[in-house]
Amino acid sequence: MPVSRRRRAARAAAVTAAALVTAVAVAPATPADAATPEEDRGVFLTVSDTAHTWIRGVLLRCPDGRDHHPRHDAACAALTWARGDLDALRGEPHACTKEYDPVTVTAEGVWRGAHLDWERTFANACTMDAATGPLFRF
């Protein structure tokens, strides 16, 4: 029994539709030239005076340790404990003088896929250390 033109056209349309659905299902959701999710390139930490007459900085990469932070393990542990929220750092509270010699600290970069852009000014280096623990000890 010969197949009619109408049936052949219907089959061809069905095959084409199935191929199209399959192609859409396996195609990437983003264009090929779109940026891939940013890798954890690390967090750049700085400490400076408020007039910016001096500044120190270091790149912290957790957990790989390919950085120059002198207290890498403790700093990564503090950042992990705070889940990347530097306002949640438990620090290491201790007594400080009331000397006013402000320091500004910043943290910028990518940690576990999340962008960090954090800055705080403390009354002096001692209060900064008490609030942030090992993170800015470099």
Question: What digits encode the pLDDT tens for the residues 95-138?
Answer: 999 999 999 999 999 988 889 999 999 999 999 999 999 999 99
Confidence of residue 27 (pLDDT cuts 50, 70, 90): very low
Phi, psi of 52 (to 5 degrees): 60, 40
Give the torsion sign (CA, 5, 6, 12, 16). Answer: positive
pTM: 0.68
Cβ atoms of residues 130 and 91 within 8 Å: yes
| 41 compared with 58, residue with greater pLDDT | 58
Give the torsion sign (CA, 134, 47, 80, 67). Answer: negative
